[in-house]
Structure 1
Amino acid sequence: MDKLSQLREMTAVVADTGDINAIRQFTPLDATTNPSLLLKAAQQAEYQPLIDDAITWAAKQNGSSDEQIALCGDRLATKIGYQILQIVPGRISTEVDARLSFDTQGTLARARRIMDLYAQIGVAPERVLIKVASTWEGIKAAEILEREGVHCNLTLLFSFAQARACADAGVTLISPFVGRILDWYLQNTDATGFAPEEDPGVQSVRRIYQFYKEHGFDTTVMGASFRNTEQIEALAGCDSLTISPNLLAELADDQGALPRALTPAANGGQSSAPIGEGDFRFQHNDDAMAHDKLGEGIRKFVVDQIALKEQLKARAAQAQGAPA
């Protein structure tokens, strides 16, 4: 049995892509998208009719041209999500604009709009995860959304403080990043590499996973942002892992044995005091890696969000016969 098949027996496998063909090939349970992945997806021939649909629809909505382009982006994200949901049996993660990462009310408004757009095209709320950056403001927005029945995926998670706050907020799922943590340590220390057991990204997810199980938190831990299959194998048994198509292919081609690496603690239900805002901000800031990578991740998503917006704006102007 190949390693991908073995992994599926102990972990929910999620596709970290918006590529329809890759999703069809690997038949994951769920799929995740983000601004960077949507920007890539927008270049694919399969999605050109969806872009045209989003532009036509947005042009009929009230608001300024900028507001219509923002609506167009959300419409495109939900239409791509709809297409993906025709293939995967589980859920699609759709991300709120990263420029709202420090705006609780703005995040709430955008998340509700995305859910409304999904409802308009017949997607049930239980099939959607709203992705929000794991800032304090994002976590507070997710806490409110969860009470409203909107399930959330807290992304760009690098610190233990973020993981604690997400659990306290009762979010559905977190996406602790593995590869980006490794990147930081390779760039900021003398290390030139790590064995899987010593990989700081792997160790971060393992610590969060054990903490959640020991304290009985229901939040799903979904490792993300992998650089190699060794990181994935070191987290076999985690609740869920979101994996890029190239690494899914490597696992599918490997016929070696894949032992379980993570097992839930037997003593779940230990009490845990919630983390307050002051402690959250200090502890997260005190972790140089987490502080750096959260800010960098938001900035990169914003760059891709703006690039997608400019593409949509140019396409809309072309459709109207006007200069972009």
Structure 2
Amino acid sequence: MTIQTGLDYIRSRSIVDCDTMDEQGTTVAKTLGPFHDCTSNQAIAYNELTKPEHAELLQSSLTKAKALIHEYPGLTIEELAIEIAMISLSLRIAPHITGHIHIQTNPYYSYSTEKTIVNALRIVKLTHHLSPTHPQSRICIKIPSTWEGLKACQVLEQAGVRTLATTLFTMPQAILATEVGCTYIAPYVNQLRVHFEPGFKDPSPLLQFSALVQKYYASIGSQTQVLPASLTSTNEIFALAGVQHITIAPGLLEELVKPLEGKVPVESLFDSPAVVEGAVPGKEVSYVGDEAGYRIAFTRDANGLSEEKLTQAVNIFCDMQDKLVQVFKRLN
């Protein structure tokens, strides 16, 4: 492979996914692909669905929700319409990628294993309803990395539903995620608020963390793949060259297709002595049968900052879910 651009370089070391739901994403997939997976969440969905060109999609999603709501007792029409719309957006990009579409569960279910499982199975069923030829093997359910969410992943993976543990900030979360059999984890390099508060920069981005988790997974023979997210710059992406998967937003992809002038601007952390020689947990560390041990380890991580980051992310996604509900309430 001839390396002419930053994207060429990243592709030479990692599988590249696109982090989008928009028509630009389809264009990017056509012009800059192939990409493997396409990731999304409630924030990406809200930003896309509020564009004028999606008025027809909103209305059709609401109409379908009204027709199907009798199958889903306890769910509101608006909640069902949101899921239909999110799936519909992802299905538009599906022909232009080679792997999974990723749909995130309702963040309000983050602390309920049962509701998360039901939600995930509903997403799979709705995807089949909307596109009967789209195989279940190309659907991945994104679930926040709470204890309850990760236990839901365990049940879903055993049922043949692929899962991604998102909003992941700590080694205890990473250990539990592979113990329950998650297909992917998504360590957040930056806390989620960087994308919502102009001028805010994460004082301690978790770049090295992804490399150490991947090293740990290799040491125990784990099949769970590392897919870092919440990136803000091409330098962060270059630093993560060598990670198994990486999901990149269209704006950063456009920057990466510029010609490389000389050497790569940032050395990969996967080549750094800090990672190559860094210590990782032993095989004996386990949380899957120790909820109390997991919870205190997670709470104590980074003196509580990691728990704050997860709480912040769940809150932001709940805010975006609320905004999506209001979008459909105005139509209904």
Which TM class, normalised by the smaller chain length? 0.7 to 0.9
Match of 1:15 among 13, 18, 33: 18
Match of 1:223, SS state, is: coil
Matched, 1:149 2:156: no
Match of 1:58 among 27, 45, 65: 65
Structure 1 residues 203-282: aligned runs within 5 Å: 203-256=208-261, 257-258=263-264, 261-262=269-270, 271-275=283-287, 276-282=290-296
Distance (Å, rounded) in 2 between the aligned partners of 1:140 and 1:245: 32
Match of 2:103 among 78, 87, 94: 94
Match of 1:33 among 15, 36, 40: 40
Post-superposition shift, 1:46?
4.3
Does the 8 Å CA contact 1:98/1:298 hold for their aligned counterparts?
A: yes
Structure 1 residues 270-309: aligned runs within 5 Å: 271-275=283-287, 276-287=290-301, 288-309=304-325
Structure 1 residues 162-173: aligned runs within 5 Å: 162-173=173-184
Distance (Å, rounded) in 2 between the aligned partners of 1:227 and 1:57: 36
Query: What's the % identity of the aligned pairs?
Result: 26
Tell me the matched-pair count: 302
The C-alpha deviation readout for 1:146-183, integer Å capped at 9, x for no partner, is: 00000001100011110010011111000000022896
Distance (Å, rounded) in 1 between the aligned partners of 2:317 and 2:11: 30
Match of 1:136 among 147, 154, 159: 147
Please name the residue that 1:320 is paired with.
none
When the two chains are superposed, the root-mean-square deviation of aligned CA atoms in Å is 2.4
TM-score normalised to structure 2 length: 0.84
Does the 8 Å CA contact 1:30/1:88 hold for their aligned counterparts?
A: yes
Does the 8 Å CA contact 1:221/1:240 hold for their aligned counterparts?
A: yes
Matched, 1:310 2:313: no
Post-superposition shift, 1:283?
1.1
Please name the residue that 2:114 is paired with.
105
Please name the residue that 1:188 is paired with.
none
More deviation, 144-153/68-77: 68-77
Match of 2:13, SS state, is: coil
Give 5+ residue unaligned stretches, structure 2: 195-200, 277-281
Residue 271 of structure 1 aligns to which amino acid in structure 2?
K
Distance (Å, rounded) in 1 between the aligned partners of 2:144 and 2:74: 27
Post-superposition shift, 1:70?
1.3
The C-alpha deviation readout for 1:84-110, integer Å capped at 9, x for no partner, is: 102222111100000000000000111
Distance (Å, rounded) in 1 between the aligned partners of 2:236 and 2:68: 46
Post-superposition shift, 1:45?
4.2
TM-score normalised to structure 1 length: 0.86
The C-alpha deviation readout for 1:42-88, integer Å capped at 9, x for no partner, is: 02344332212111111223458962211111111111121110222
Give 5+ residue unaligned stretches, structure 1: 184-191, 317-324
